[in-house]
Amino acid sequence: MNILVTGGAGYIGSILTEELLAEGHDVVVVDNLIRGHREAVAKDAIFVETDLSDQDALNHIFQRYPIDAVMHLAALTSVEESMREPGNYFINNVTYGINLLECMINNDVKRLVFSSTAAVYGQPQILPITEETHPKPVNPYGESKLMFERVLHWYREAHNLRLISLRYFNVAGASKKFGSDHTPETLLIPNIIKVALGQARYIPVFGKDYNTRDGTCVRDYIHVVDIAKAHVSALKSIDEKGYRIYNLSSGNGFSVNETIETARRVTGGKIPLKVHPRRPGDPPELVASSTLANIEIGWEPKHSSLEEIIKSAWDWQKEHPYGYNSG
């Protein structure tokens, strides 16, 4: 197939592109490079630098390349930033997503796999989280993703699109070629590794008084390569599924303190920490079941060990200590 990957110069998009190419697909990557990196685009992919706000440019891409399916990852993704700038999140994650859908319809492209998030669930009362858990976001980032999922439902009703929405939990790790490089870096594991590399004096821990086993937030980490492979599995099943929503998780929860301690073992670094006040919008615990994805699209995580996840990120960041600008 010819696959369009929006946000393909970003963390997950780069590794998804790598996996799609390995599966024999042709890939067109669209990214505005505001937060992505040209060096993160696999050399065998076609790259177009543009923004989803530009419908003329998007239509030109669909008309130039015979796109069979879209993997939509382009989005703003910081919980903390979304609490300060909610308007940017609704514009980028909802309005510009609608621009993409309109271009798909105009060019008779019917398949879309959407990068959603566990943030749609907010602070669930019952764990593990399943797809039946009622979504109730507690930050604009999660709300914007849920809003777009609702948009997808109505576009399917109106235009008979085939859609799969993948709700990720905490994505971490790296492939051999590609990894996490954000400015500022918001993900816990890459920031822990920066301390191990001597690039920061300590890792901030936001809150130690949550109702969890050690007072710090608990998260369900999923290897980025497993996330990429889930997209491939979804694509293979999309024609028969119609519209589905799947959780992507390891099913195991690790606290911030446990994650830091695991990183100390993997890296051999002391990794000092400093406790800060809670961040607004952070749920205490997010752990999920991905049983439905296993049953319906045959996906399960192959790299769910926290040690393996951190080791892959550590190996990549040692080779790229300053990200894609390491020279």
CATH code of 162's domain: 3.40.50.720
pLDDT surpassing 80 at residue 10: yes
39 and 93: one domain? yes
DSSP structure string for 44-62: TSEEEE--TT-HHHHHHHH
State residue 32's pLDDT score.
97
79 domain residue, yes or no: yes
Instruction: Enter the tokens of residue 269.
Output: 């670094």
73 domain residue, yes or no: yes
Average pLDDT of the residues in 171-196 = 94
166 and 38: one domain? yes
157 and 282: one domain? no
pLDDT surpassing 60 at residue 186: yes
51 and 150: one domain? yes
Which amino acid would we find at residue 319? Answer: E
Is residue 217 within 8 A of residue 284, CB to CB? The reply is yes
266 domain residue, yes or no: yes
CA Rg value for the chain: 19
DSSP structure string for 102-146: HHHHHTT--EEEEEEEGGGG-S-SSSSB-TTSPP--SSHHHHHHH
Domain count, the chain: 2
232 and 317: one domain? no
d(CA 161, CA 91) in angstroms, rounded, equals: 23
Is residue 89 annotated as part of the catalytic site, yes or no?
Answer: no
312 and 256: one domain? yes
193 domain residue, yes or no: yes
Is residue 161 within 8 A of residue 282, CB to CB? The reply is no
10 Å Cβ neighbour count for 169?
Answer: 25
What is the SS3 string spanning 214-245?
CCCCEEEEEEHHHHHHHHHHHHHHHHHHCEEE
d(CA 235, CA 5) in angstroms, rounded, equals: 12
163 domain residue, yes or no: yes
21 and 86: one domain? yes
pLDDT, tens digit, 9 for 90 and up, residues 242-275: 899 999 999 999 999 999 999 999 999 999 999 9
pLDDT surpassing 80 at residue 64: yes
CATH code of 272's domain: 3.90.25.10
Entry field: residues in the chain:
327
pLDDT tier at 327, thresholds 50, 70, 90: low
Residue 113 pairs in a beta bridge with: 71, 164
88 and 215: one domain? no
149 domain residue, yes or no: yes
Q: What is the pTM of this model?
A: 0.95
16 and 164: one domain? yes
d(CA 20, CA 181) in angstroms, rounded, equals: 21
Average pLDDT of the residues in 34-54 = 97
Percentage of the chain modeled with pLDDT above 70:
99
Cα(first)–Cα(last) distance of the chain, in Å? 34
CA nearest 182: which of 19, 14, 37?
37
Per annotation, catalytic residue among 121, 141, 168, 246:
141
207 domain residue, yes or no: yes
Instruction: Enter the tokens of residue 213.
Output: 């086993």
101 and 143: one domain? yes
pLDDT, tens digit, 9 for 90 and up, residues 289-315: 999 999 999 999 999 899 999 999 999
Q: What is the mean pLDDT of the chain?
A: 95
Q: Could you tell me the residue range of the domain that residue 52 belongs to?
A: 2-172+222-248
Is residue 41 within 8 A of residue 8, CB to CB? The reply is yes
pLDDT, tens digit, 9 for 90 and up, residues 191-241: 999 999 999 999 999 999 999 999 999 999 999 999 999 999 999 999 988
78 and 113: one domain? yes
132 and 231: one domain? yes
More confident residue, 207 or 79: 207
Q: Strand, coil or helix: what is 288? A: strand
pLDDT surpassing 60 at residue 322: yes
State residue 28's pLDDT score.
98
21 domain residue, yes or no: yes
pLDDT surpassing 90 at residue 53: yes
pLDDT tier at 75, thresholds 50, 70, 90: very high
